[in-house]
């Protein structure tokens, strides 16, 4: 965290903690669940050194940003407005957005809703998807009607919060190590699927997860301790409310979102990312999503990499990001 500057700024009516470095065109990094600005610890210096102002922030509900309590406080409409608030608070007229996991839809939908401000965008793990024909939670209920799916489990207010907060260190460690390349490889070897098809609808999130003897090379105990410290501040209610607001998004934004992202874009995923397995298909995710972009400059699948793309493969991801920025 050396040379990274931290400050609290007002954005869209809330206080947001940002971590920034460098000077130049603004690049905003949006993180996912259950994470922090810290998920971009390898990208911030790399992008700053290339001549940009690299800014990662604690999404509302996380870390040292404000943590409103209601589900309606975590709609995509508000989350995208938070990003625009960062642009304005820092004195810029335009920016580039990059996101991972839930940060992906935040980055992409900000670009879709504010094309006059967001000049380019890219995501890791989660691509741009046009509006679903039915509310997304209804879609998950149809696909996973007889087996466990974590997003449906998260709909029960207070249940997942209690499971995580009973032992934050263990919960976060299991989440990170069961969804990375090593964890996904182990899951596929055990069950033939990265989504544990034998787990029933009455299971809990952590139930059945592998307890590894050692941490993977990309994750240190110091990293886990930092993430734990951030969730000791925030708790899990705000982060989980993002999952609970998905059907509100469908109602609020279904008529506003375009079929394609117009701006220059990139998409990078890992071959073992569990997101790849959410919707059954004979076609790879990288192939399925190409028509969702008008100008997709980079699309890459990193072999052996799981969900935590930019943390598991920081050098490769940084190389792709810098190549993308150079080509704009």
Nearest to 263 by CA among 218, 200, 328: 328
Question: In the predicted model, is pLDDT for residue 193 greater than 80?
Answer: no
- Determine whether 307 is an active site residue: yes
pTM of the full predicted structure?
Answer: 0.98
**Alpha-carbon distance 5 to 11, whole Å?**
18
So what's the pLDDT on residue 281?
84
> Taking a C-beta distance cutoff of 8 angstroms, is the pair 55, 49 a contact?
no
- Determine whether 31 is an active site residue: no
For 145, 167, 251, the CA distances from 105, given in Å and listed in that order, are 25, 29, 16
Average pLDDT for 180-198: 85
**Alpha-carbon distance 313 to 130, whole Å?**
28
CATH class of the domain at 5-327: alpha beta
So what's the pLDDT on residue 96?
99
- DSSP states of 199-263: --TT--SSTT----SS--TT--HHHHHHHHHHHHHH-SHHHHHHHHTHHHHHHHHTTTS-SSEEE
**Alpha-carbon distance 105 to 275, whole Å?**
13
Mean pLDDT of the chain: 96
Average pLDDT for 288-302: 97
> Taking a C-beta distance cutoff of 8 angstroms, is the pair 40, 90 a contact?
no
> Taking a C-beta distance cutoff of 8 angstroms, is the pair 180, 308 a contact?
yes
Gyration radius (Cα) of the chain, Å? 18
Q: Where are the domains of the chain?
A: 5-327
User: Per the residue annotation, which of 73, 100, 273, 307 is the catalytic one?
Assistant: 307
Tell me the three state secondary structure of residue 300. strand
So what's the pLDDT on residue 254?
84
Q: What are the tens digits of pLDDT across the range 62-91?
A: 999 999 999 999 999 999 999 999 999 999
User: Per the residue annotation, which of 101, 180, 249, 273 is the catalytic one?
Assistant: 101
């Amino acid at each position: 965290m050396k040379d990274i500057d931290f400050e609290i700024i007002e954005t869209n009516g809330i206080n947001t903690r940002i971590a920034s470095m460098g000077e130049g065109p603004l690049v905003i990094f949006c993180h996912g669940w259950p994470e922090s600005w810290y998920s971009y610890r390898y990208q911030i210096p790399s992008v700053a050194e290339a001549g940009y102002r690299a800014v990662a922030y604690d999404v509302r509900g996380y870390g040292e940003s404000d943590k409103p309590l209601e589900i309606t406080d975590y709609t995509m409409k508000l989350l995208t407005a938070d990003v625009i608030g960062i642009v304005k608070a820092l004195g810029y007229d335009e920016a580039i957005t990059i996101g991972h996991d839930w940060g992906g839809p935040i980055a992409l939908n900000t670009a879709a809703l504010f094309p006059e401000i967001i000049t380019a965008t890219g995501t890791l793990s989660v691509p741009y998807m046009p509006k679903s024909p039915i509310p997304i939670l209804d879609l998950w209920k149809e696909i996973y009607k007889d087996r466990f799916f974590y997003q449906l489990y998260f709909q029960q207010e207070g249940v997942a919060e209690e499971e995580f907060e009973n032992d934050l260190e263990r919960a976060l460690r299991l989440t990170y190590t069961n969804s990375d390349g090593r964890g996904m490889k182990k899951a596929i070897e055990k069950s033939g699927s990265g989504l544990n098809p034998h787990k029933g609808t009455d299971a809990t999130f952590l139930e059945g997860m592998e307890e590894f003897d050692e941490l993977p090379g990309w994750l240190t105990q110091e990293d886990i301790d930092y993430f734990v410290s951030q969730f000791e501040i925030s708790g899990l209610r705000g982060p989980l409310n993002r999952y609970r607001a998905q059907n509100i998004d469908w109602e609020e934004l279904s008529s506003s979102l375009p079929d394609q992202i117009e701006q220059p874009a990139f998409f990078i995923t890992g071959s073992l990312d569990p997101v790849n397995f959410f919707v059954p298909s004979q076609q790879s995710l990288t192939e399925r999503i190409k028509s969702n972009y008008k100008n997709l400059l980079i699309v890459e699948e990193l072999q052996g990499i799981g969900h935590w793309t930019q943390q598991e493969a920081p050098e490769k991801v940084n190389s792709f990001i810098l190549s993308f920025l150079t080509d704009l």
